A and B are shown apart, each in its own frame.
Chain A
């Protein structure tokens, strides 16, 4: 077994085990901290895929912004662990069947979508010009409409947060 395969199997196994730990925690803060560890491992998996920009974004946006926001709200509301672990054992047969159906559909779709194509962005090109530079060039040329839509999508929750959680004027 070569060294990359060994490292990848560590990251994959750790990701699965940590995500199992995450969904079974009673304490919310513990769950969020285990999620932080999971995101660090997923960021390591992105490094295998020559996506170092995404490894960085994963750390900055997910670990740095989203999880901190979640911890902030948990501490603001001061909810500790109202959740009981018996919730996890409430996995009934229809729910488990649904999960197996989703897994089966994913397996079939992903098997058939395997295209061994050689596209424009070969591994040598990504290694020579950096990942972030190529992504930026695409975002400003052929994928400029998704960039604009992303701006609108990021503008919506600002309005939503102000309208939903802001101070009422009639209080």
Chain B
């Protein structure tokens, strides 16, 4: 039997890798991919806790997170297409019209 801590450490590592990618990459596509990585790490945490605490509410929340990931991805890609029409680039630091 694999201990619960192994799953939690795995999820935290994947979350940290996704966070590093989100902060260092400059293109919106890679940032969206890193958000998906982080959401997957959260899902691993929730489902492993749901298994070890023998409570199904974790899986309910994990399903909500998957729905949210799909919704966020669709909205983000719509924003990306709209921004690409405007700027002809996907780099985040060239979208600085709203910088104060």
Interfacial residues, chain A to chain B (CB-CB below 8 A): 4-5, 8, 12, 15-16, 19-20, 22-23, 28, 31-32, 35, 38-39, 42, 45-46, 48-51, 53-54, 57-58, 61-62, 65-66, 69-70, 73-74, 76-77, 79, 82-83, 87-88, 90-91, 95-96, 98-99, 102-103, 106-107, 110, 113-123, 131, 134-135, 138-139, 143, 146, 149-150, 153-154, 156-158, 160-161, 164-165
Contact = CB atoms under 8 A, between A and B. Distances in A.
A153 B66 CA distance: 11
Contact of A57 (B6, B63, B73): B63
Contact of A62 (B2, B26, B36, B59): B36
A148 to B, nearest CB: 11
A131 B71 CA distance: 25
In the complex, the 3 A-B pairs of residues with the closest C-beta atoms, listed nearest first: A23-B21, A119-B54, A157-B74
Given A38-B40, A87-B24, 14 more contacts: A23-B17, A35-B36, A35-B37, A66-B70, A70-B33, A73-B80, A77-B80, A77-B84, A79-B29, A95-B23, A116-B52, A134-B56, A146-B64, A157-B74
Interface in B54-72: 54-57, 59-64, 66-72
Q: How large is the interface on B (under 10, 10 to 19, 20 to 34, 35 or more residues)?
A: 35 or more
Interface of B: 1-2, 4-8, 10, 12-21, 23-27, 29-30, 32-34, 36-37, 40, 43-45, 47-57, 59-64, 66-75, 77-82, 84, 89-91
A145 to B, nearest CB: 10
A156 B71 CA distance: 7
Contacts of B82: 164-165
B54 A150 contact: no
Nearest to A95: B23
A4 B2 contact: yes
B56 A138 contact: yes
Given A20-B17, A42-B44, A139-B60, A120 B70 contact: no
A149 B64 contact: yes
A115 B66 CA distance: 25
Contacts of A99: 16, 19-20, 23
Nearest to A160: B75
Contacts of B17: 16, 19-20, 23
A135 B56 contact: yes
A66 B99 CA distance: 30
A54 B68 contact: no
Nearest to A42: B40
B8 A23 contact: no
